Amino acid sequence: MNTNQPDSAVDPGVGLSVDGAVATVLLDRPDVRNAQHPAMWAAIAGFLESLPDEVRVVVVRGAGGTFSAGLDLSLVDPGQTEVEGSLVATLARSDQEVVDLIGEYQRPFVALADPRFISIAVVDGYAIGAGFQLALACDLRIMAEDAWVCMKEPALGLVPDLAGTKPLVEAVGYSRALEICATARKVGAEEAGRIGLAQSVVPRAQLDSTLADLVASLVAHDATAVRRTHELLAAASGRSLDEQRLAERTAQVGRLRAVLGR
Ligand code: CAA
């Protein structure tokens, strides 16, 4: 299944497809290093929010050897306010309206955390700013060994605002997350693997085979058992031990009945 976005006024620049249990989001603006813009976010959000139940894995990757160079910088260029989605033009609105609009932009980043499926970012080249945040929105990250990530926003006088701060802190801890953001430095794949940002770091030529092996492993077991386990793990950091224990045993009753047929 290929999904077009006929309602979008501008080309979203993203390929959206489903093949059995695997959906793929392909950022496809290689001429601008897969820079992101609101039409792209709307297309990805609409796609993820309406995925069929049989989809168990969502793969996010970029065309042309890079993941994403982040926000399309034409959107923050004061000289290009006529560009569709210009954030400069957006600032004519009230603060609350801008807050609400950014909430809309955050939709695909939130949708990638849906425990109905396991999301995997395949990071080739680099993932900068919104690109890094998109990779962070995924449950798992595979990186090419020469790839890097960078939370560039503070270097531009901005903050990371696409739902990336929470998964970053949860992946690497508060102090390392602060250091990575405040310095806006490049984090190479070797370090990313060492500090828990990437679950696999492989030679670029092995990205596809590594992804295929991971997907096969992720869909090998009962879909409901994996989903319930995913839900438990995703909610764990926001719960007390007693709340988590209750969630575990509640989920297990349903699983025991399903497995044992009672
Ligand atoms: N937006 C729009 N166009 C971009 C772009 C971006 N983010 N990144 C690269 N491009 C364009 C370049 O302008 C260039 O276009 P032309 O061919 O027309 O000149 C083309 O892509 C190729 O770029 P480079 O020649 O620079 O390619 P490179 O491989 O040598 O370098 C790069 C790639 C390191 C990504 C460099 O282009 C770069 O630093 N880009 C800007 C990255 C950036 O600052 N992103 C914003 C981060 S902040 C954010 O995402 C969120 C936020 O602010 C809230």
Q: Give the pLDDT confidence score for residue 2 in this predicted structure.
A: 44
In this structure, the residue with its CA closest to atom 10 of ligand 1 is 32
Q: Is the CB of 125 under 6 A from ligand 1?
A: no
Q: Which two tokens stand for residue 225?
A: 């058992």
**Cβ(156) to ligand 1 under 6 A?**
yes
Under 8 Å CB-to-CB from 12, ≥6 apart: which residues? 5, 39, 40, 42, 43, 44
CB of 33 sitting under 6 A from ligand 1: yes
Residues in the chain predicted with pLDDT less than 50, given as ranges, are 1-7
Region of 163 please: left (phi>0), alpha (psi -120 to 50) or beta: left
What is d(CA 165, CA 181) in angstroms, rounded to the nearest whole number?
Answer: 9
* pLDDT on residue 10: 84
58 torsion bin: left (phi>0), alpha (psi -120 to 50), beta (else): beta
Ligand 1: residue of 73, 101, 123, 153 to mutate (most ligand atoms within 8 A of CB) is 73
Global pTM value: 0.96
* CA gap 8, 42 in Å, rounded: 9
- Tell whether the torsion through CA atoms of 203, 209, 213 and 219 is positive or negative: positive
